[in-house]
Structure 1
Amino acid sequence: MAVTVETLEKLERRITLTLPAEALQAEVDTRLKKLARTAKADGFRPGKVPMNIVAQRYGYSVQYEVINDQLGQAFAKAASEAQLRVAGQPSISEKEGGPVDGQLQFDATFEVYPEVKLGDLSAVEVERVTAEVNDAAIDRTVEILRKQRRTFAQRPAAEGAAEGDRVTMDFEGKIDGVPFEGGKAEGFQFLVGEGQMLEAFEKAVRGMKAGESKTFPLAFPEDYHGKDVAGKEADFLVTVKKIEAQNLPEVNDEFIKTLGLADGSVESLRADIQKNLAREVKFRVAARNKGAALDAVLKAAEFDVPKSLVAAESDRLVEGARADLKARGIKDADKAPIPAEMFAPQAERRVRLGLIVAELVKVNKLEAKPEQLQAHIEELAQSYEQPQQVIAWYMSDRQRMAEVEAVVIEQNVTDFILAQAKVTDKALSFEELMGQQAGA
């Protein structure tokens, strides 16, 4: 018999499911008899409990179980016959009025996947970025490596604090003469010129000598992370306890060998840095361009999004937020009252992008090929000391391979969009690229 599908609103549909009451009762009886073989009750040996007692004790739960099983099968069959792509779980409720001609009737309300209309990709505009690793980037990386291995020695008493020094001090801040939370510390250390303190604070400390005290005003920025003091002016009293000058190691054979480069040459060090930075640049450029391509198609695409999928994605984001809180050591993080509504815009964007990517993959055969998966894993492994172990680690786990496959598919989709769209190329400096948070 043909399935009648009723359209309620946009993607919402409803069908009527019927289950023969006699067949349902027969299945309930069968399950109760099977249950009776091991059922226990006071005054009876196991397996000897009378059926009326078994039915009284377990009848409702067994009936509920049977109806759920039968409804699931009936819904799957009806959706298949009607060639429906069901999104999310259906909501099923019994029709009023009881059985009709020995048939129990239920309404199944659900959503279907939309028809994703991508439009003309040749009209989509995308800005594609490029970036290169220059000598200045390599020089900065060398300096970072030197700072990671620097030592400190106490400055002579007559010398004041200078750029790069490690200063140990006591300080107390007051607003309108009143101390504020987080405004006092003893034996506090910071490195001058490395952005650990507000610029005005560092400026006041520069030139101070060990044992010297100073009071100075400091205006907190309006966007300061401490909301209680943001936009307010405080008076700080600081006393310098110790000043240590940094000593950066020379870039020589001995220093280079500590980095794991056997030949110890400056050329090999710079070549190794170049290779690592180029790999990072490649990943960031790819992420940036992927985001731009998907954003452009997202704006051009028109379709309704199943509410059930957005709700499910919101729930996943909530669980992810709780997991993050738990990882930070927050007590009772799994019970944190995080409303799913706050993730709704992000969830809808994710669902939309997922549907767009799926449509592009299906229509244009953009699935990940085995050789692409292998190449991507090998590239990821190159940043580790033992690449073969990393490759084996990925290849041995289905979930990790699924994550790799998703990345490769997204890159295939990105390449396809860029090949079709109106692309404007823009060269970014290394600094601009590294300062961006890329991604979709």
Structure 2
Amino acid sequence: MQTVETLNEGLKRAYTVTITSKDIDARVEKEVQAIAPQVRMPGFRPGKVPANLVKKMHGENLQRDALNNSIQESIQKLIADQKLRPAMQPSVELDEGFEFGKDAEIKVALEVLPEIEAPSIEGLKLERLTAEVPEDKVTEAAGRIASQQGALEEHAASHKAKDGDTLSIDFVGKVDGEAFEGGSAQDVKLKIGAGQFIPGFEEQLTGVKKGEEKTITVTFPKDYGAAHLAGKEATFDITVKAILNADKPKLDDEFAKSLGLEGLDKLKELLKGQIEQEHNGLTRTYMKRKLLDQLAAAHDFDVPPSMVEAEFEQIWAQLQHEASHEEDPEAALKEMEAEKDDYRAIAVRRVRLGLLLSEIGQANGVTVSDQEMNRLIMQAAQQYSPQDRERFVQYVRQDPMAAAQLRAPLYEDKVVDFLFEKAEVTDRTVTREELEAAIEAEDGDLKPHVHGPDCGHDHDHDHGKPKAKKAAPKKKAAEPAEAEAAPAAEPEEAPAKKPAAKKAAAKKDAPVAEEAAAEEKPRKKAAPKKAAAKAE
């Protein structure tokens, strides 16, 4: 194998590699000897087919396999000999005029990871904003649950039902004077104006009082699910048993016990714990962004354009998806286009911070244990239907890139936690509203000179789903996961897949070194409503 470097500019490298026909022929001969004992041919005893006939039968496939294997090994040797750290999968192009029996000349192009000086982790200073949980917020949360469950205080008997009130009713439905199957029920909760019942039903209950009996007439829609009722007129004899006040949830031990709890105090204890977890998540989000701001300010180096482009494409796809759900998608897309350079700057920042976190993690021995990885796989498998979970587990265990992408978010979290421990942290107590406002202030800064908003990834910097030889099982129906960060990964654990030799350029997008994470997902500015001019 002969290697000639043809490009060395910045992070770009290119080489011409020559593989001699002698090497390829030797591989073919070796493979012929290996498969000959298994070849069967009429007129010859098993395993006694002459080598020249074996080559005649399988020569084309053997030559192609020998060429592919030679190219794969040549690229691996090139990377090792040149001490390269590919940022993405190298592109490989076989000379158009190649013929078997001649030397093979291939062109290899790639981008390498930048040489990063060991990032300094000294002198980090962070503020930890913490929010306590006021009792009234716990009561408010309990009240929302009670309202959802219909556990409400009753209005006075003199109260007349109005839009928004919830009624407890019994009813008997009749068609042509005869009660029909499924048309009767007791203690049904009906909220006037919610549109839960067929058209005209709820409206006719406006103004009724507790204890009142009333007969209403409605017509079932022509497309009603029950064919024997579709389009027919029906009457409903209704008894109003109670009119409930949606503004006054009924919070007592009886309600809590209906949820399977010991009492109201236990419900409030659980809710307080949930709110505390939410506050802790907000605190971590704020600290992480401030940490990343300090890292970004202290380090500036070139990053591989291919990694930036992959990151930008992910950001852009996410924003396009969000724009498609706006009231005026065309105006939202127009606003995006005006800020395209800003989003590309965010992609640069993400990749740079990802590489920094990865370097910090490696330099300080941060790893994801086998036990943690197994737990990750089991948790991720729960997103799939029961029959597909085992397939998913095998898919991840057999595909290094899929495993690396699953591992990456946890690795990032561990690096961030390590840096939190090393930082000088001061505490300040704030309200939840103040904490959310502090985070929102970060979200609004999209311009590159202020580092952009959140930075996320779905490996978590996901350049795309892991490319597996076998398709991964499909997840249960769910909303697309939104990336929270471009997580730091352990590069040495995510080797690039071997390139297959093709006459045309064989390019792949699988990263050799998974970038690490950085911030949280990018958010658009307030999208314009309808045809109104965009608001800043």
TM-score (norm 2): 0.48
How many matched pairs? 338
Displacement of 1:117 in angstroms is 5.8
Alignment of 1:85-96 (within 5 A): 85-94=85-94
Asked if the contact 1:293/1:417 (under 8 Å) is kept, the reply is no
Unpaired stretches in structure 1, ≥5 consecutive residues: 171-184, 190-204, 212-241, 325-340, 381-396
Alignment of 1:9-20 (within 5 A): 9-20=9-20
Aligned to 1:291: 289
Three-state SS of the structure 2 residue aligned to 1:145 is helix
Aligned to 1:391: none
Displacement of 1:302 in angstroms is 1.7
In the alignment, residue 17 of structure 1 is paired with which amino acid? Answer: V
In the alignment, residue 282 of structure 2 is paired with which amino acid? Answer: R
**CA offset digits 1:138-184 (Å, max 9, x no partner):** 121121221132158999898352665522388xxxxxxxxxxxxxx
Aligned to 1:359: 359
1:168 paired with 2:193, answer yes
Aligned to 1:83: 83
**CA offset digits 1:234-253 (Å, max 9, x no partner):** xxxxxxxx996446663222
**CA offset digits 1:182-216 (Å, max 9, x no partner):** xxx94698xxxxxxxxxxxxxxx9xx9459xxxxx
Three-state SS of the structure 1 residue aligned to 2:89 is strand
Partners of 1:51 and 1:401 in 2: how far apart?
47
Q: Return the match for 1:412 from 410, 417, 424.
A: 417
Three-state SS of the structure 1 residue aligned to 2:87 is strand
Displacement of 1:31 in angstroms is 2.5
Displacement of 1:130 in angstroms is 2.5
Partners of 2:42 and 2:312 in 1: how far apart?
48
Asked if the contact 2:357/2:412 (under 8 Å) is kept, the reply is no
Partners of 2:133 and 2:62 in 1: how far apart?
68
Q: 1:308 to 1:130 in 2, by over 3 A?
A: same
Aligned to 1:68: 68
Displacement of 1:355 in angstroms is 0.9
Asked if the contact 1:157/1:209 (under 8 Å) is kept, the reply is no
Q: 1:162 to 1:188 in 2, by over 3 A?
A: closer
Asked if the contact 2:155/2:244 (under 8 Å) is kept, the reply is yes
Q: 1:147 to 1:33 in 2, by over 3 A?
A: same
Three-state SS of the structure 1 residue aligned to 2:90 is strand
Partners of 2:415 and 2:2 in 1: how far apart?
40
- Structure 1 range deviating more: 73-82 or 37-46: 37-46
Asked if the contact 2:143/2:251 (under 8 Å) is kept, the reply is no
Three-state SS of the structure 2 residue aligned to 1:79 is helix
In the alignment, residue 30 of structure 1 is paired with which amino acid? Answer: K
Three-state SS of the structure 1 residue aligned to 2:160 is coil
Partners of 2:103 and 2:93 in 1: how far apart?
15
Asked if the contact 1:3/1:82 (under 8 Å) is kept, the reply is no
In the alignment, residue 406 of structure 1 is paired with which amino acid? Answer: Y
**CA offset digits 1:57-116 (Å, max 9, x no partner):** 6434432321221222222223222222122222233468879xx854433221111123
Q: 1:35 to 1:109 in 2, by over 3 A?
A: same
Alignment of 1:155-234 (within 5 A): 159=160, 161=162, 165=166, 166-168=191-193, 186=199, 209=206
Unpaired stretches in structure 2, ≥5 consecutive residues: 167-190, 209-239, 323-339, 380-395, 398-402, 441-453, 455-483, 485-519, 521-536
Asked if the contact 1:129/1:426 (under 8 Å) is kept, the reply is yes
Asked if the contact 1:3/1:15 (under 8 Å) is kept, the reply is yes
Partners of 1:353 and 1:42 in 2: how far apart?
65
1:253 paired with 2:249, answer no
Partners of 1:124 and 1:22 in 2: how far apart?
59
Partners of 1:49 and 1:312 in 2: how far apart?
52
Displacement of 1:28 in angstroms is 1.6
Partners of 1:295 and 1:72 in 2: how far apart?
41
Alignment of 1:251-290 (within 5 A): 251-262=251-262, 264=263, 266=265, 268-290=266-288
1:304 paired with 2:329, answer no
Displacement of 1:358 in angstroms is 0.6
Three-state SS of the structure 2 residue aligned to 1:281 is helix
Three-state SS of the structure 2 residue aligned to 1:87 is coil
In the alignment, residue 66 of structure 1 is paired with which amino acid? Answer: A
Displacement of 1:3 in angstroms is 6.8
**CA offset digits 1:256-283 (Å, max 9, x no partner):** 2234433x253x4433322222122112
Normalized per residue, the structure richer in helix is 1
Aligned to 2:29: 29
In the alignment, residue 193 of structure 2 is paired with which amino acid? Answer: T
Q: 1:5 to 1:418 in 2, by over 3 A?
A: farther
Partners of 2:161 and 2:79 in 1: how far apart?
79
Q: 1:120 to 1:50 in 2, by over 3 A?
A: closer
**CA offset digits 1:290-316 (Å, max 9, x no partner):** 133224423543222223444566788
RMSD: 5.5
TM-score (norm 1): 0.57
Three-state SS of the structure 2 residue aligned to 1:85 is coil
Q: 1:164 to 1:119 in 2, by over 3 A?
A: farther
Q: 1:77 to 1:349 in 2, by over 3 A?
A: same
Partners of 1:315 and 1:54 in 2: how far apart?
49
Q: 1:116 to 1:136 in 2, by over 3 A?
A: farther
Asked if the contact 1:117/1:301 (under 8 Å) is kept, the reply is no
Q: 1:188 to 1:276 in 2, by over 3 A?
A: farther
Three-state SS of the structure 2 residue aligned to 1:168 is coil
Displacement of 1:22 in angstroms is 1.4
Partners of 1:362 and 1:302 in 2: how far apart?
19
Q: Percent same amino acid among aligned pairs? A: 25
Asked if the contact 1:126/1:296 (under 8 Å) is kept, the reply is no
Displacement of 1:357 in angstroms is 0.8
Q: 1:403 to 1:115 in 2, by over 3 A?
A: closer
Normalized per residue, the structure richer in strand is 1
Asked if the contact 1:357/1:413 (under 8 Å) is kept, the reply is no
